[in-house]
């Protein structure tokens, strides 16, 4: 028997939304199977993201579920059309693990990203030298031969902040440790801090610093990323990561909980203007005394 295909992010999100709409409409798997003239197992596999579905079939299901919101209908049929679409990251083959490919797909499809990092600069804001130092710091993550490829991936990822067809809105909150940990050495870190000052000049990028003296704060449980999408009633997706695994949270309550945490962090952190001043202050402290003018 052939191995079960790993659901893509688009298929998983489409299936999850179709299941929610079916349940809200009070329709059973058998009812949905009757609409598409198929076995109930096919509907189940579509809702779990293991099977693709034609845009025409999505429209038929939405008609049966009484969904009239045109924006929602358009978004879901678009997900169906591109459920199996290859992303730019597929060109990197085995270097990109399935978990990372899922993350890149979410990043490419989102409209708004909120991220909290306690000890690292977020990937979308990293310089190349800083990224190389982060990758090389953990020998369990990647082989030396793959570092250059991963750097090309990182550069491609960052284009979502400047793309012509609508850049992603990015709001990041970083702990003071992310500014002060000399990753890659003093010069690399100074260049990274200078880069932060430049990148936040973009109207779609907001950065706040959470200083040490805040003390206990809402983000003590660790870093996280919240992806939001231009879909009516879509709760979004929360991404959590550790050394050996990744976790996606997609229920309304889960996403609402992390949104509450992010809002609390936003209130505790320095405002964007004061954060820039703080970054400049740390940069002056990082710069070697002999290089100061």
178-206 confidence digits (pLDDT tens): 999 999 999 999 999 999 999 999 999 99
Q: Can you give the pLDDT at residue 251?
A: 82
Packing angle, helices 55-64 and 70-81, rounded to 10: 150
pLDDT for res 272: 97
pLDDT of residue 293: 46
9-81: CATH class: mainly alpha
pLDDT value of residue 3: 39
* Cα–Cα dist 157/162, whole Å: 10
Q: Mean pLDDT over residues 126-143, rounded?
A: 84
Token pair 């793309």: residue: 163
The CATH number of domain 90-291 is 3.30.870: yes
**Mean pLDDT lowest among 1-5, 117-121, 135-139, 180-184:** 1-5
Give the residue, 116 or 155, on which the prediction is more confident.
116
Q: Output the average pLDDT for the chain.
A: 86
Q: What is the structure's pLDDT at 4?
A: 43
Res 67: pLDDT: 93
Note the pLDDT tens digit of each residue in 57-109: 999 999 999 999 998 898 888 888 876 566 667 777 667 777 777 788 788 88
Q: Is the pLDDT of residue 6 over 90?
A: no
Q: How many percent of the chain have pLDDT more than 70?
A: 88
**Close Cβ partners of 52 (under 8 Å, ≥ 6 residues apart):** 11, 46, 80, 83, 84
User: Which residues touch 242 (CB under 8 Å, ≥6 apart)?
Assistant: none
What's the pLDDT at 86? 62
Higher-confidence residue: 23 or 290? 23
Are β-strands 224-228 and 205-210 bridged in parallel, bridged antiparallel, or unpaired?
Answer: unpaired
The continuous run of DSSP H or E covering 14 comes out as helix 9-24
pTM, two decimals, is 0.77
Lowest mean pLDDT among 23-27, 91-95, 133-137, 179-183: 91-95
Give Cα 64 distance to the centre of its chain. 32
Where along the chain do its domains lie?
9-81, 90-291
- Rounded average pLDDT over 227-254: 81
Between strands 205-210 and 169-175, the pairing is parallel
Residues 230-243 have a mean pLDDT of 79
């Amino acid at each position: 028997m052939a191995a079960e295909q790993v659901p893509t992010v688009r298929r998983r999100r489409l299936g999850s939304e179709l299941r929610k709409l079916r349940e809200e409409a009070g329709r059973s798997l058998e009812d949905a199977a009757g609409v598409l003239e198929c076995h109930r197992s096919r509907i189940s596999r579509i809702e779990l993201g293991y099977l693709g579905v034609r845009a025409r079939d999505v429209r038929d299901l939405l008609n049966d579920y009484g969904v009239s919101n045109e924006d929602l209908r358009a978004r879901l049929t678009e997900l169906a059309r591109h459920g199996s679409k290859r992303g730019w990251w597929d060109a990197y083959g085995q270097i990109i693990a399935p978990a990372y490919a899922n993350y890149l797909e979410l990043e490419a499809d989102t409209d708004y990203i909120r991220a909290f990092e306690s000890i690292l600069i977020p990937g979308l804001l990293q310089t190349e030298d800083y990224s190389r130092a982060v990758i090389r710091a953990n020998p369990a993550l990647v082989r030396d031969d793959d570092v250059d490829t991963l750097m090309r991936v990182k550069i491609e990822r960052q284009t979502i902040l400047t793309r012509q067809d609508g850049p992603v809105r990015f709001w990041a909150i970083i702990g003071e440790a992310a500014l002060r940990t000399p990753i890659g050495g003093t010069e690399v870190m100074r260049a990274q801090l200078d880069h932060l000052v430049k990148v936040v000049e973009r109207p779609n990028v907001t950065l706040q610093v959470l200083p040490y003296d805040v003390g206990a704060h809402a983000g003590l449980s660790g870093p996280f990323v919240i992806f939001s999408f231009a879909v009516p009633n879509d709760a979004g997706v929360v991404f959590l990561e550790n050394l050996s695994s990744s976790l996606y949270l997609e229920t309304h309550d889960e996403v609402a909980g992390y949104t509450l945490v992010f809002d609390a962090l936003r209130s505790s952190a320095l405002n964007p203007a004061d954060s820039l001043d703080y970054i400049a202050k740390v940069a002056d402290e990082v710069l070697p005394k002999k290089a100061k003018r």
